[in-house]
Amino acid sequence: MPSEGAVLGFDSAGNWCCAALLRDRQVLARRHEDMGRGQGERLMPLLEEVLAEAGLAWGDLAALGVGVGPGNFTGIRISVAAARGLALGLGIPAIGISRFEALALDGPALPVLVPALRGQAWIARPGGPGEPPELVDPAKISGPVIAETGAFPGLASQPPALPLAVAIARLASERRHQPQPRPAPLYLREADAAPHSERPPALLP
């Protein structure tokens, strides 16, 4: 039967594609697939499989939740673009959820640690949205943190209380009746690329 309030949450900001379908906090279906590449080709079929597993169609959705990072530059753009396009086509809201928010949901009041480039990490400390994440050396972190399983071996870390896609869908469901900006990638630093060092050739008149 048609669903009232079904929310689909998904993320491809790392070496994975994941999705979860919720209604009234009940998980109807979810998937998590680890992959080094190919998220752009896999994301939409994965979402369709999650819907089919729950016996729902696109038209049964009331809202979308999408992970906006931090994470892989291309992976974030893939999922955010998909969420915007689906929201426009279905006429439903799409809500962007940061990885920090998702990992902290239902957990203790601990800092949240997310991997960054070159062995560094982003840390978001409890204290509200006014405190921006900080780039740190994880080897210098003392005290327990919330981090994904295996992300920081040897560090005193606690896994998140909920799977990533489930947390994204939960937060989107809670916020869908409030005015929300369009999902936008959460880039905490510039793309890891530099302009070409050679001067361009002169154009002939």
User: Which pLDDT score, from 0 to 100, does residue 89 have?
Assistant: 97
192 vs 53: which has the higher pLDDT: 53
Helices 39-54 + 73-90 axis angle, to 10:
50
Question: Is the confidence at residue 203, as pLDDT, over 50?
Answer: no
Residue 195 has which token pair?
Answer: 């302009």
Residue range 104-123: average pLDDT? 95
CA distances from 199 to 195, 196, 204, 205 (A): 10, 8, 15, 18
Closest residue by Cα to residue 53 from 89, 84, 27: 27
Task: Give the lowest-confidence range in 19-23, 63-67, 102-106, 191-195.
Answer: 191-195
- Mean pLDDT across the stretch 79-106? 97
Average pLDDT score over residue span 165-181: 96
* Fold of domain 1-105+162-189: Nucleotidyltransferase; domain 5 (3.30.420)
pLDDT band, very low/low/confident/very high, at 71 (cuts 50, 70, 90):
very high
Q: What is the pLDDT of residue 17?
A: 97
What pLDDT is stored for residue 1 in this prediction? Answer: 37
pLDDT at position 154? 84
205 pLDDT above the threshold of 90: no
> Which tokens in the block code for residue 130?
């006014």
Tell me the average pLDDT across 159-171.
98
Neighbours of 116 (CB within 10 A): 18
Average pLDDT over residues 184-194: 69
Beta bridge partners of 202: none
CATH 3.30.420.40 placement within the chain: 1-105+162-189
Q: What is the pLDDT of residues 6-46, one digit of tens each?
A: 999 999 999 999 999 999 999 999 999 999 899 999 999 99
Instruction: Determine if the pTM surpasses 0.85.
Output: yes
